[in-house]
Amino acid sequence: MIDALQYDFMRNAIMAALLASAICGVIGTLVVIKRFVILAGGIAHAAYGGIGMALYFGFPPRFGAISFSFAVSLILARITLLDRGRADTIIGVIWAVGMALGVVFADLTPGYGVHLMSYLFGSILSVSMIDLYLMGSIALLTWGFFYWNYRSILVYAYDEDFARTRGIAVTLFHYVIVVMISLSVVMLIRVVGLILVIALLTIPPYMAERFSRSLMGMAVVSFAFSLLFCFLGLVVSYYLDLTSGASIILVAGGGYFLSRFLPGKEVGRIAK
């Protein structure tokens, strides 16, 4: 594996793994604690519509995905605030429509196949410097927001009603966090693809919850697990010539099942 570091694409892949893990540390923790897994899945699959439209109209796919996901996240943020009882149904509709739009526009775009497949299943080995700069910016944004608003996020994450009584802008926090989820999902698509992105967002923080005593600790441990899984997944894909995104998720899945046999506190009992 050491000899592979002489190649730029492998060094970029390792840096992408580091930045993706940093994003997962914060965003994945919030997704798990707030039970936003379905919401994140809806955004990830709706992003496919933005990718297909961008390819059809000749725009860079990453910006099409970001723009489309941003718009979808605003819609979903409002829906989950106003009608949480039916939010999962509406998210499912947006999920399906986004995917359908992506498929239709991809069909209308000549020669789309290989490029679009990298967004479905991930292509960490083809991450560009622009992708790294974007991922770095989002990692700094998420950790900065999490650190400077930690106490307010802590209250919001566990008890929104109490947060309102404390004067915390719950609605604003909700919109900001959902938008940050959308931006993070788009960046993670480059690593593991939209089909597998939810696993990378949920497995490390879910495992971290069993070994953490605070929300900050959970984010840090989640970052460490994500980085370990990404690195081991890259090693496996390199030596066995497998798809890197799928290898990362299989390693993460194996880690999750192994963690069930290790002693840890009951999930959901983080000391605030």
pLDDT, tens digit (0-9, with 9 covering 90-100), for 90-133: 888 888 898 899 888 888 887 655 566 667 777 777 788 888 89
Distance between CA atoms of residues 20 and 14, nearest Å? 10
For residue 272, is it within any domain?
Answer: no
Domain coverage including residue 44? 2-259
- For residue 138, being part of any structural domain is answered with yes
Percent of the chain with pLDDT over 70: 90
Cα(259)–Cα(211) distance, integer angstroms: 10
Give 31-89 pLDDT, tens digit per residue.
999 989 888 888 888 888 888 888 888 888 888 888 888 999 999 999 888 877 778 88
- Residue 115 CA to residue 112 CA, distance in Å, equals 6
Looking at residue 21, its pLDDT comes to: 92
Q: Is residue 174 part of a domain?
A: yes
Instruction: Supply the pTM of this predicted model.
Output: 0.85
Average pLDDT across the chain, whole number: 85
167: left (phi over 0), alpha (psi -120 to 50) or beta: left
Higher per-residue pLDDT: 245 or 181: 181
pLDDT at site 115: 60
Buried b (16+ CB within 10 A) or exposed e, 124-162: bbebeeebbebbbebbeebbebbeeeeebbbbbbeebee
pLDDT at position 146, please?
Answer: 94
Q: Please report the DSSP string for 228-254 in residue order.
A: HHHHHHHHHHHHHT--HHHHHHHHHHH
- What's the average model confidence in pLDDT over 256-267? 72
Give a yes or no: residue 271 inside a domain. no
Closest to 252 (Cα-Cα) out of 222, 218, 215: 222
The H or E element spanning position 93 is helix 87-107
pLDDT grade, residue 196 (50/70/90)?
Answer: confident
Structure tokens at 82: 């106003």
> Of residues 126 and 142, which shows the higher confidence score?
142
| Cα–Cα distances in angstroms (integers) from residue 222 to residues 26, 196, 219, 225, 254, in the given order | 8, 17, 5, 5, 15
Q: What CATH code is carried by the domain that includes residue 89?
A: 1.10.3470.10
Q: What average pLDDT does this structure show over 198-203?
A: 89
- Let me know if residue 264 belongs to a domain: no
52 domain residue, yes or no? yes
Residue 108 in tokens? 């209308």
Question: pLDDT value at position 116?
Answer: 64
C-alpha atoms less than 13 angstroms from C-alpha of 144 in its C-beta half-sphere: 7
Rounded to 5 degrees, what angle do the CA atoms 66, 94, 194 make?
A: 50
Position 266 in a domain:
no
Assess if residue 265 is contained within a domain: no
pLDDT above 90 for 204: yes
The single-letter DSSP state of residue 163 is H
The pLDDT value recorded for residue 141 is 93
The count of domains in the chain is 1
